[in-house]
Amino acid sequence: MNSLHKTIFKDQVAQQIWTDYLSQVELLCVMLNQRQTADIQMELRAHLLESYTQLSSGSEAERIQSAINKLGQPSEFIPLWVEERLLEGTMPGSGTRNLLNLFKINALKGVKQFIFSMLIGFGYLLAFYFFLSAVLKIFFPEYIGVYLSSSNILFIGYVDSEGFTELLGYWLIPVGLGVAVSLQMFLNKILTRKIGRH
Amino acid sequence: MYFMDTDVLNDQLNKWKLQLRKGVLLHMTMSLLNKEEMYGYALISFLSKKMNADMAEGTIYPLLNRMVRDGIIRFEWRIMQSGPARKYYQITPQGQQLLKQMHQHWQLINKNLQVLNNE
């Protein structure tokens, strides 16, 4: 049991209501780190206990339930709070961890946003693929390149058989790096534009 | 002449009140924190009374978090002699600057509204 859930009520029903509430909060904070989760729980705990002590009538269970009703169900406000915490320190181009946080936020906002996030994720993979191809071209110039097959299919990657025409040669290195960087910057911009909408 | 149904009228009024409340929540929170530093429960209790509204108390926390992220308020955890620790929020110099501009804008809206009503 989390130390923040520790027994504070004599009445078992009240204690159960309290534990259930904080467990729900904890569950909704799953994307946050331990420090951020504890911060939210501590603030809610202080809020609920103060609200509880302000109520003079009723049993312990009735009073804590009333305090919870006033505060609201975790699903009503914790997701937004979690979103805010995930955005902390997230500014355009401020690092992979923050971009990952923005990715998580978008992915959890419904089917449309999930598909959008998948496309963005695919874009990042593509940028990485261009970057990798450019780097590998330095070490394996005969096998890595932009090729045209005999059936006129263009592709970038590894080839060790006959029947392919290499198109870019060593130009793949600057072109690949350029495409990778441009694509990454473009995707970062799209993803971080979401901040302004919060 | 068209007479609006009372229910429709009340519905419109409630919608307008809700929009207004959303709009002024940030302003009121900052005004309060400009007077004194406060913790979540005290802040929401005061706001509920002043805004004469039954707000789910939890809704203030994402807003406070966003204000911290924007650098217009900051917080400090304090150990209390009795009871759990409290997270106190206080306005920052940037927040005070923003509040000043918000006051000016609010006064302008108010003045324009009065002029419009007196015409």
What percent of chain A has pLDDT above 90?
26
CB < 8 Å to B56, chain A: 70-72, 76-77
The chain A residue lying nearest B58, using CA atoms, is: A71
Query: Confidence band (pLDDT; 50, 70, 90) for B103?
Result: very high
With CB atoms and an 8 Å threshold, state whether B41 touches A50. Answer: yes
As a dihedral over the C-alpha atoms of residue A58, residue B57, residue A81, residue B24, rounded to 10 degrees, the angle is 180
Express each pLDDT in B27-81 by its tens digit: 999 999 999 999 999 999 888 887 766 678 898 999 999 999 899 999 999 988 8
Indicate the residue of B62, B69, B83 with minimum beta-carbon distance to A80.
B62
pLDDT: is A165 or B27 the higher one? B27
Give how far the C-alpha of residue A184 lies from the chain's centroid of Cα atoms, to the nearest Å: 17
Residue B50 token pair: 């002043």
Indicate the range of A46-50, A63-67, A89-93, B40-44 predicted with least confidence: A89-93
Section A22-44 average pLDDT: 89
Whole-model pTM?
0.66
* A39, A72, A78 ranked by CB distance to B57: nearest: A72
pLDDT recorded at residue A90: 52
- CB contact under 8 Å between B56 and A47, yes or no, is no
The model's pLDDT over A97-151, given as tens digits with 9 standing for 90+, comes to 666 666 666 666 667 777 777 788 888 889 999 999 888 888 888 888 888 887 8
- Position A192 pLDDT exceeds 70: no
Distance of residue A165 Cα from the nearest chain B Cα, in angstroms: 54
Tell me the β-bridge partners of A165.
Answer: A148
* Residue A91 confidence (pLDDT) above 50: no
Most B-contacting residue of A8, A18, A47, A85 (CB-CB within 10 A), to test interface = A47
CB A77 to CB B84 under 8 A? Answer: no
Asked if B61's CB is within 8 angstroms of A46's CB, the reply is no
Shortest Cα distance from B41 to chain A (angstroms)? Answer: 5
Q: Does the structure's ipTM exceed the value 0.90?
A: no
Choose from A2-16, A45-59, A113-127 the range with maximum mean pLDDT. Answer: A45-59
Instruction: Report d(CA B100, CA B27) in Å as an integer.
Output: 10
Of B56, B62, B85, the CB nearest to A81: B62
Of chain A, the percentage scoring pLDDT greater than 70 comes to 81
Q: Do residues A60 and A49 lie in contact, with contact meaning Cβ atoms separated by under 8 Å?
A: no
